[in-house]
Amino acid sequence: MRAYERLLQYARVYTTSDPESGTHPSAAREFDLAHMLVEEMKNLGIEDARVDEHCYVYGTLPATPGCEKLPALGLIAHMDTAPDASGENVNPILHENYDGNDVTLPATGMVMKTSTFPFLKELKGETLITTDGTTLLGADDKAGVAEILTAAETLLAEGRPHGKVCIAFTPDEEIGEGASLFDIPGFGADFAYTVDGGDVGGIEYENFNAASAKAVIHGINVHPGDAKDKMKNASLIAMEFNAMLPADQRPDCTEGYEGFFHLTEMKGEVEHAELSYIIRDHDALKFAEKKKTIQDAADAINAKYGENTIELAVADSYYNMKSQIAPDYLFLIDEACEAMKELGVEPKVQPIRGGTDGARLSFMGLPCPNLCTGGANFHGVHEFIPVESMEKMVAVLVELMKRPAGV
């Protein structure tokens, strides 16, 4: 089966993670895909394929004779999709021989314009998989899952010599919990790659330092005709608080190594308001400064409107894995670059403007840089992936599986 055919199947399985549940996995529906993958892996000959009680899927390709002493390579992708857009009733659409012009998403009439996404023009003649306009696609990261299993199937079918290959598919990556209960000893790899990136050629070992922040504002409501010097409108205070954060440090104003504050959710009435943020920066000192900035804003609100008007909770999510990869495991970057070059893919070593399971796994003792999937516009209805990009990544993964990395 080709990778894109797998993706078309996986995309239809509802696996959106739930940031409010507090359970592992965050949503029982994630088991639906997990069980499907275990059955598929066993059919491929991955005899030890299994899913644990927390919805982590594991399986192993044993080393072929003569390769038993090679280091064990891990490949990891996540099964859940982001709660930023609906992942229920996904209906993937194939656009064969794409003409390089605007793409209409049929269920809504929404248009992916080349003026907004100019890189679309570079894909003329390829086959695109898009959404129908009502949901995200889920190529993040079901494309990674599909590419890993297709590469494993290719390796087994061709009988190529290889060291031990360890495969894992995780739940809840999109809500920062994908590595929380990952069984590194049971996984059995010496090092690994997550396959969870974007454009073909992407290789990443620098990611954001990340935190979440939630501000709860308490107001006082009285009749508006008798409100002078009594009412504290929590919604207005929330707006004032948000305005105290640097306007030029938002996602739409930043790129490269620049960090940001991102307001992800807001709700409010006169008596009560809530704001949810994510905070990101590659640089540890700037990351600390951003956390101080939002705390200073909360302190200023409380000084102005009274103690405990605003309650702010800031929690770190993950850190930049660069310190865990360089210098001892930079050979993983070199190997990925060489594999891509050998297959005619131009490698692009670049920082991740996001995070992966690999960032936390690297700090847990499993060095784990990130590779591309070939997809684009993740977390929304404009998400898509070219079939040809998936095929290139399958070839790259097969090449990495048969290379004696780390020796």
Q: Which residues are catalytic?
A: 80, 173
In three-state secondary structure terms, 169 is: strand
CB atoms closer than 10 angstroms to residue 389: 30
Contact predicate 213/286, CB 8 Å: no
Amino acid identity at 202? G
In three-state secondary structure terms, 206 is: coil
How far is the first Cα of the chain from the last one, in angstroms, to the nearest whole number? 32
Q: Are strands 57-61 and 50-51 parallel, antiparallel or unpaired?
A: antiparallel
Two tokens at 161?
Answer: 């010599």
Contact predicate 290/259, CB 8 Å: yes
Those residues with Cβ within 8 angstroms of residue 52's Cβ, 6 or more apart along the chain or in another chain: 58, 183
Tokens 């399986």 correspond to 59
Give the C-alpha separation, 336 to 328, whole Å: 15
